[in-house]
Amino acid sequence: MNGNESQLIEQAKRGSNKAFALLYERNVSALYRFLKQFVNKHDNDDIEDWVQRAFVKAFTKIESFEGKSRFSTWLFRLAVNEMRSDMRKIPLLPLESIADENYEQEDIYADDFIWEMTMKELLDEVSAIKKSVFILYEVEGYSHTEIAHILGIEESTSRSILTRTKHYLRKRWISIKENSI
């Protein structure tokens, strides 16, 4: 069975298990990777549970999906809600970096490993919401509209959080580099 996302969703709404299975296959890896970034300890059991619960909710509530966003955006929102139901504070594992636009990447850091480790440490200093917005935008490539939907915040809030987070990370990175010279 082939089909684009909207066709599969319509078929799933009509009760096609094959269509939903294709939606699952197309989204399960991305959802797992997305959730894994939020967990400091690599507790695969929790991640697998959240993925499973998000898909069960998607399956049972597919009728309520209106198609105003991508299916993955809706699915990620369901998964975030599952995490939140289990955890008050979501510890995040940041995977993406920022660079000062005034410098070439090579000028900022000499070793990718050191850069990545430093960014992980710096992102551990910011709040869960800041990490969430940063990861969704910079790593996963979601728009601010989609992030607002996933996290239940305003689009303008997503934009300002990302700007403030990047500014903070850039400032801290430069401070670390200056102190290491």
Helix axes 71-86 and 17-36, enclosed angle (nearest 10): 60
Model pLDDT, residue 109: 35
pLDDT at 86: 72
Residue 145: predicted pLDDT: 93
The pLDDT, as a whole number, for residue 180 is 65
- Return d(Cα 5, Cα 19) in angstroms, integer: 9
Is the fold of 5-86 the same as that of 105-179?
A: no
119, 176 contact by CB (below 8 A): no
The radius of gyration computed from the CA coordinates of the chain, to the nearest angstrom, equals: 18
Q: Would you list the domain boundaries of the chain?
A: 5-86, 105-179
- The CATH number of domain 5-86, selected from 3.40.50.10860, 1.10.1740.10, 3.10.20.30, 3.40.640.10: 1.10.1740.10
Which residues touch 168 (CB under 8 Å, ≥6 apart)?
Answer: 126, 130
CA dihedral 164, 68, 94, 177 (to 10 degrees): -30
User: Are the C-beta atoms of residues 135 and 141 closer than 8 Å to each other?
Assistant: no
The pLDDT of residue 95 is 38
pLDDT at 40: 55
Full-model pTM: 0.57
What is the predicted pLDDT for the residue at 181?
A: 58
In which residue ranges of the chain is pLDDT below 50?
88-111, 113
Question: What residues have CB less than 8 Å from 11, skipping those under 6 apart?
Answer: 1, 3, 18, 19
State the fold for domain 105-179.
Answer: Arc Repressor Mutant, subunit A (1.10.10)
- Let me know: does 6 contact 62? Beta carbons within 8 Å: no
